[in-house]
Structure 1
Amino acid sequence: MSTIIFQDISQVPSPLQINNRSTLSSRDLKILEAFENEPWDLGPPALVDQKFTRLNRDLLFQIVMVENTSKSKLNQVDDIRAKLDPNLQRVDRLKTTRDRVVINQVDIDKDEPTSDSAGMAAYSQSKAVFKLVLQDRKGSLFYAINSSPLPWLQVCMLGSKVIIKKGSIFNRGVFVLQEPNVLFLGGINRAWNENRDGKLCEYLECKLQRDAEDVKLNGSRKRKNP
């Protein structure tokens, strides 16, 4: 199923022309079925009015963007800027960061933090909540958020494919992802991953500007229109 996994699915015709589907593995058949299933209905009712709706079929999506919502957008922008150019790192970064790990013991021979600090970092990552922008084969965009730890979210590439399984919840415009209800397939769109850090930084900066404008206009950080 490389035609699906390693391609932009919005550019792949459906149904696929396959001479003998009986020769496909059970995994490939699952991928093909999820790809050819009718994409999620956009309404009516409108996306934001669909409350706790359960999917009645498997659906295939590709990952367009991944945002760690457990970490402030400003801190993420600072981290990316420092990664791209260490000279841009804020002088007061160590004092103001909310994501630092306290190291209370160091093994001189190993010159690495003890397992306590590593455990704290792992615990923090396991509790992280990610917001994904997903795209279906028709090019429609959707949001998704994890309600349980999904380890692949830490390392997935843009363009990776996922199957959101039948029975998963779609609530007010957002797919709710849990370990048993989502199958990560891998894959990559190389064009989307070029200068990925720069693109993510620009994306977060736009959201920060939008939030600032909302505060100025409405006196609140919460947008009135989802």
Structure 2
Amino acid sequence: MSQIISHDITQPIHIPQIDGNRLSSRDSLVLRAFKNDVWLPNTTVAEQKHCLVSRELLFQILIVEDISKSKLSQIEDITARLNPNNQRIDRLSSGREKIVINQVNVESEETNIETSSPPNKKTVYRLTLQDKSGAIFFALNVTNLPWLSVCMLGSKLIISMGTQFIRGVFLLNDTNCIFLGGVNQTWNENRELKLQDYLESKLQRESESQLSSNTKKRKATQ
């Protein structure tokens, strides 16, 4: 089923006639998920407080966002990777754990150190997903999913029957989803710059929203 995995599923995909008995169990699952009806068509998904997925669903991954780290911290990380000479903070490697030194008290013998990857900490990702109709959904991992840190944009994902769906969000664990891989070369061009722009835009909107909220509060108390 490479035609499905390697292409944009919102565009027409030619699938040749194949004897289902000759397909592997994985290919049969991919084909079935692709042919299944899309999830909650013509429905305001945010109104679905809680339900369970009733069939295998195929999605492609548009955005992978680490929401267990602040947006500012992620922007600084991206900037450091793109141009190490412009790092704002000193970064040292200590064994397997990357250490970020963000504050030093020169009058004390102790250094305040924040670890960017504390041992055993679960990283939570927010996935923006798209089905074959072009509808957008979101997903969060509730357990560690190793492929999340390396998946390319355009990768395909099957969400299994029984997965919880709460207000537009699928809750993923290591038993209710199947990562298929795949890649969209165009979407991944300058991926880090695009992610940086995306995070900076969200940070700006949040700042403006907070400023507007504070202004309204001040007016209400006057």
Shorter-chain TM range is: 0.7 to 0.9
Equivalent in 94, 98, 101 of residue 94 of structure 1: 101
Pairing 1:123–2:123 present: no
**Secondary structure of the corresponding residue to residue 166 of structure 1:** coil
**Secondary structure of the corresponding residue to residue 10 of structure 2:** helix
**Match of residue 135 from structure 2:** 140
The structural deviation recorded for 1:21 is: 2.7
Tell me the TM-score normalized by structure 2: 0.82
The answer to whether the 8 A contact 1:146-1:178 is kept is yes
Amino acid of the structure 1 residue aligned with 2:101: L
Pairing 1:39–2:30 present: no
**Match of residue 116 from structure 1:** none
CA separation of 1:80/1:57 partners in 2, compared to 1, >3 Å: closer, same or farther?
Answer: same
In 1, distance between residues paired with 2:12 and 2:30? Answer: 13
- Asked which structure has the greater CA Rg, the reply is 2
**Match of residue 191 from structure 2:** 196
The structural deviation recorded for 1:43 is: 4.4
Return 5+ residue gaps in structure 1 as ranges. Answer: 102-119, 221-226
In 2, distance between residues paired with 1:151 and 1:6? Answer: 21
In 2, distance between residues paired with 1:91 and 1:31? Answer: 45
The structural deviation recorded for 1:98 is: 7.7
Which aligned pairs between 1:19-58 and structure 2 lie closer than 5 A? Answer: 19-44=18-43, 46-58=44-56
Which aligned pairs between 1:65-76 and structure 2 lie closer than 5 A? Answer: 65-76=63-74
Which aligned pairs between 1:103-122 and structure 2 lie closer than 5 A? Answer: 121-122=118-119
In 2, distance between residues paired with 1:135 and 1:142? Answer: 6
In 1, distance between residues paired with 2:114 and 2:184? Answer: 30
In 1, distance between residues paired with 2:114 and 2:192? Answer: 19
The structural deviation recorded for 1:90 is: 1.1
**Match of residue 4 from structure 2:** 4
**Secondary structure of the corresponding residue to residue 27 of structure 1:** helix
**Match of residue 96 from structure 2:** none
In 1, distance between residues paired with 2:114 and 2:151? Answer: 22
> Kindly, what percent of the aligned residue pairs are identical?
47
In 2, distance between residues paired with 1:157 and 1:52? Answer: 29
The answer to whether the 8 A contact 1:12-1:137 is kept is no
**Match of residue 113 from structure 1:** none
Deviates more, 1:210-219 or 1:65-74: 210-219
CA separation of 1:168/1:99 partners in 2, compared to 1, >3 Å: closer, same or farther?
Answer: farther
In 2, distance between residues paired with 1:206 and 1:5? Answer: 31
**Match of residue 61 from structure 1:** 59
Amino acid of the structure 1 residue aligned with 2:131: D
**Match of residue 107 from structure 2:** none
Return 5+ residue gaps in structure 2 as ranges. Answer: 91-99, 104-111, 216-222
CA separation of 1:63/1:74 partners in 2, compared to 1, >3 Å: closer, same or farther?
Answer: same
Amino acid of the structure 1 residue aligned with 2:165: F
Which aligned pairs between 1:169-188 and structure 2 lie closer than 5 A? Answer: 169-188=164-183
Tell me the TM-score normalized by structure 1: 0.81
Deviates more, 1:92-101 or 1:24-33: 92-101
**Match of residue 223 from structure 1:** none
1:62-113 deviations in Å (ceiling 9; x for gaps):
1111000000000000110111112321157732598536xxxxxxxxxxxx
